[in-house]
Structure 1
């Protein structure tokens, strides 16, 4: 079979796409999210949006129903009220989907208008079964947001370079339906790491290849407070523990207290004075001055999450499509 790239135009490769978005307490995010979905340039008659409420305590589901009646795009509100997990919610959307390509993003993401066009285009090659788009930062005001943007914390380039096996995050990922029929759905009881698990199951069975689509862009807001930042990095640590138990991934080495004290001391005595001089000369910013302590804070949070996590037995369950 010839897998040479084919030039895509509005009259060529336009498969039916089902966009699945899990939502938990997303009342504040919905108006802007729906605007972004309505602005997609992919032909509207070829896309359905399955927005799955995951037992929200606010007006999310009512707003989804209202939105489905007052829009020019096809919105199909769904709900998952039994299992509190974004992966269980995604499974509800997958089961109801009619598209040959399943695209995923999150309620707090803001897809660019060309997102779907760029994300779906690589599937013109039949050996492509996974496509990961890029995740960029929404403009941030706080120091923590600016630091995360500088580090490109959410970028797919980190997960695509994973030493065990590349994967794409479900904030911006598309999967050929055929692959899900072969390997099954997301693990419904897993609370973190389900995107890596799904991609690895597909790639390890050699069903097809993963492609990066850098122009398929969604934007995401970074964490603005220390509490949110700690929660994010603890979740990363839990994810690593779960993937260790499911796939044998190496655990991240914990950073010891003595190493922390050494690095903080070096920062105080060497880096901070040096960067302060640069800042006075306009060659460094406040973000540069605090990069080391923020990095140590997130490393400790990730280590704590990894140490405390224990994979629930039911997280090994994989349901079929």
Structure 2
């Protein structure tokens, strides 16, 4: 099942051609408004199976991903797997252990719990019927919200080592900055929602240090790798600042 949410890159044509060999496959035209959540919830609504696995159009699933997800969802209600970054991305966008840390476990928010990224997430319909779909009110962070809500309700997150997705990241500083601003805004909203359940406030001292580093290290004076890193770190803090004002919390 492919939900096409207003693509302009020929996705619909590629899918239509592929469906000639997949009689049970479907192409659904999703809502036209730009949204990360609405097409996923539409997919949940229209999928016929009890075991549902999500991936994104700009990533590549590894051989055996579908079978690995299907097998894992036979034993668990919420599943994720390794995210491999080196094969699809230039080296200048991979910082430190960033390229390998998601191969050995799920992403871990340093102020709360691990979560499944939306590009590699498996869920059983029975869990959705009990606990609900993605929150349509979030512009970003919907995968964190669902993962944490389910874990708090007693559904553990299972990491399936053989369910590998090759993930593509933003390769331009502008794209990375805009993406991380969205992440930051959602961080503040998630903090407001989950602080009563133990989510910790982010470190204000660290935020001040990062912003100071951003001012002192102008992206116009340093190489492309540093510009990309600068865009991610400063975009996240700018987003958190904006989200803190919007949601009346302090999460920097």
TM range (shorter): 0.7 to 0.9
Q: What is the deviation of 1:218?
A: 0.7
What SS is found at the alignment partner of 1:78?
strand
Task: Quickly say closer, same or farther: Cα 1:167–1:113, change in 2 above 3 A.
Answer: same
Is 1:132 the counterpart of 2:68? The answer is no
Superposed CA deviations along residues 108-148 of structure 1, whole A, max 9, x for unmatched, are: 110011112222323343xx211111111153564533x24
What SS is found at the alignment partner of 2:40?
helix
8 Å CA contact 1:172–1:218 kept in 2: the answer is: yes
- Name the CA distance, whole Å, in 1 between partners of 2:89 and 2:7: 28
More strand by share: 1
Is 1:182 the counterpart of 2:125? The answer is no
Superposed CA deviations along residues 245-288 of structure 1, whole A, max 9, x for unmatched, are: 22224443323477417986xxxxxxxxxxxxxxxxxxxxx99x
TM-score, scaled relative to structure 1: 0.63
Is 1:78 the counterpart of 2:58? The answer is no
Q: What is the deviation of 1:55?
A: 2.7
What RMSD, in angstroms, separates the aligned Cα atoms of the two structures?
3.3
- Name the CA distance, whole Å, in 1 between partners of 2:106 and 2:79: 15
- Name the CA distance, whole Å, in 2 between partners of 1:140 and 1:65: 25
Q: What is the deviation of 1:300?
A: 1.5
Is 1:260 the counterpart of 2:222? The answer is no
What SS is found at the alignment partner of 2:83?
strand
Superposed CA deviations along residues 9-49 of structure 1, whole A, max 9, x for unmatched, are: xxxxxxxxxxxxxxxxxxxxxxxxxxxxxxxxxxxxxxxxx
- Matched with 2:176 is 229
Q: Which runs of 5+ in 1 are unaligned?
A: 1-49, 265-285, 312-321
Is 1:192 the counterpart of 2:143? The answer is no
Counting only pairs closer than 5 Å after superposition, residues 94-173 of structure 1 correspond to structure 2 as 94-125=44-75, 128-139=76-87, 142-145=90-93, 147-148=94-95, 150-152=97-99, 155=102, 157=105, 159-160=107-108, 162-173=110-121
- Name the CA distance, whole Å, in 2 between partners of 1:104 and 1:153: 22
- Matched with 2:239 is 305
Task: Quickly say closer, same or farther: Cα 1:225–1:75, change in 2 above 3 A.
Answer: same
- Matched with 1:283 is none
Q: What is the deviation of 1:78?
A: 1.1
TM-score, scaled relative to structure 2: 0.79
- Name the CA distance, whole Å, in 1 between partners of 2:56 and 2:209: 35
Aligned length: 236
Is 1:87 the counterpart of 2:37? The answer is yes
Task: Quickly say closer, same or farther: Cα 1:183–1:295, change in 2 above 3 A.
Answer: same
Task: Quickly say closer, same or farther: Cα 1:185–1:63, change in 2 above 3 A.
Answer: same
Superposed CA deviations along residues 64-112 of structure 1, whole A, max 9, x for unmatched, are: 33432x2246321112225431211011111111111111110011001
Superposed CA deviations along residues 213-234 of structure 1, whole A, max 9, x for unmatched, are: 1221010223222112212322
Q: Which runs of 5+ in 2 are unaligned?
A: 218-222, 248-252
- Name the CA distance, whole Å, in 1 between partners of 2:147 and 2:113: 9
Task: Quickly say closer, same or farther: Cα 1:197–1:154, change in 2 above 3 A.
Answer: farther
- Name the CA distance, whole Å, in 1 between partners of 2:37 and 2:30: 10
- Matched with 2:250 is none
Counting only pairs closer than 5 Å after superposition, residues 233-312 of structure 1 correspond to structure 2 as 233-248=180-195, 249-252=199-202, 253=204, 254-256=207-209, 259-260=212-213, 295-309=229-243, 310=246
